[in-house]
Structure 1
Amino acid sequence: MTDRWETVRPHVAAWRQRLPMHTLARPAARVSTMLAATWRRLPLREDPLPSRPLVVVAACLVAGCAWGSWLPGTAGPPPGVSAHWRAGMHWLAALGLMIAWHRAASRGQAILAVASLCLAVSSAAAAWSVARSSLFPADELAWHLSTRPVPVAIRGTVVESPSGLPPASPDPRLAAAIGPSSQASLAVSALRDGARWRAASGVATVIVGVAPTDLPPLIVGTEVEVTGRALRRPPALNPGEFDAARRARLDRSLSIVRVRSAADIVPLAPPPDWSVAAAVDRLRAGG
């Protein structure tokens, strides 16, 4: 800091000597002196700013997820060979790039090592994106459904307690107007097939035609049996239309179960006493 002030001081002194010492020049000289003193006291950094590697990692993750989501492919009934191939290729690319990073780093090739590491992170993120949006278990509930509603009876665990849905139209004279309704999320564990229950999986969105206050206590972790009409979320049919099926794949909730009344939801077992999610849900419900 002293060297910097010694460099600036001669210029300030010469400028003050050339100024006519009249009423307007004296305040200007004082201001210049104050500015020079302030410059001297500023806590300026002499060393460069530290690097921020997490920003680069975050950018690589975002780019990889975007690349994995942009690639063509849809989630269909198992085995979903296309999605398996895409996810596998991304994982293999990430593994190969990690090997390239190790070799480049051991040889002191910094630029090549950084580039390989960034591409490896992006490839791993793309593989995760493909797996999340396109790979589902073989017993996923949606694979037993179509885009037309069919009667079902399922069992599962509440993963999101019921919340109220806004009415379709506030005008009761319109045909689209409906009464109060609720929405909850259920982790499916079984599907009734005739007189027996068989294993199933997936997350289903349960829509009930009553307000949340009219439902039995459905705390997160409660095991329930639901009877209603279920369907798989339909894809977009027109260009530019919102693709509900794609959004459902990203949320990993492919099925919708519509229930007419609260009597069609039967609690089977309360959540465990040690469940943290249930405790948080009780606190939230209590306000």
Structure 2
Amino acid sequence: MSNQDLQMESWLTVNDVSLHQNIQTPLSFDHTTSLQDTTPVQDTISGGLIIGHKQNEAIDANNNVKNALQTYDRFSNEVKESAQISPIVGLTTILDIARIVSNYNPALPTDQENNETKKAKVAAYNQYITKVLQNPLMHLKSNYEKKYTKITSNWKTAIDEISNLYDGITEKDKEKIKTSLHALAEATSSRSNRANTENIIAQNVIVCNDKEIEFCIYSSSVTMLYSDGKNTVRQVDFTLNETHIRFTKELWSRYSDIVLAKRCSMIGYLVLVHLIVIKLLLLALLKISIKRKLDNFLFPFDL
């Protein structure tokens, strides 16, 4: 067994999703899409938008695995064989495992967040990236920063320019970013001389080319300051971190069986968790119903 084999085995053992009670979002396996696909992109960081020369080939291979899972037993040879020639399945599985064990869920509604939950979300995101890069099939290709500072009389101009700094994300995601920035601008304008900061994490883009599969993740921080004095000042400071990670697709077939087994176990565990939750809800409803009937029996008339 090679050192890389040991690293993969160790990574899968340490990141066993059955040891974590924070599975809240669907697996990205069912939500990968292309630029031409009109289906809305799943709002999770693992649900990548697929582009590149090998886009159609990657999507077809991914669909073949999904079809095999629907037709055969999830541990069948048909599923294994289709997964071996679908590196996208390997990539998205690793991303999903890392996301779940990091308790990172970008699909949770942001309008219900407070400062504590926002901090927790950023910490979970950082843990997610760390977990991804610890996998032996993942390699950091580049990580760079874009900075933007503007003093303007109009928040809208700055917001439009900031949203255009994100390369490759969907218009739907750009609109979400704009909505978040407009809300921040409104909060900032309500109190003079007080800075407001927001962290924004955008969905990744998966690039499939002849020699490699690369995916990009965007995280950013924006601070707005409003000064209402003799001269009204609106200042925006924006930092965008763009991380590019390469997936070693040529080694995927070597590890597809053990990674796929983890995915299939994860699917089974998700089903079990959901069934338990449903059962608990039904029991709670049954208890409420019994209590109401008992109350009506003991106290049939209002006093």
How high is the TM-score relative to the length of structure 2?
Answer: 0.21
Q: Whose RCO is larger (CA < 8 A, sep 6+)? A: 2
How high is the TM-score relative to the length of structure 1?
Answer: 0.22
Q: Which of structures 1 and 2 has the bigger CA Rg?
A: 1
Which protein has the bigger helix share? 2
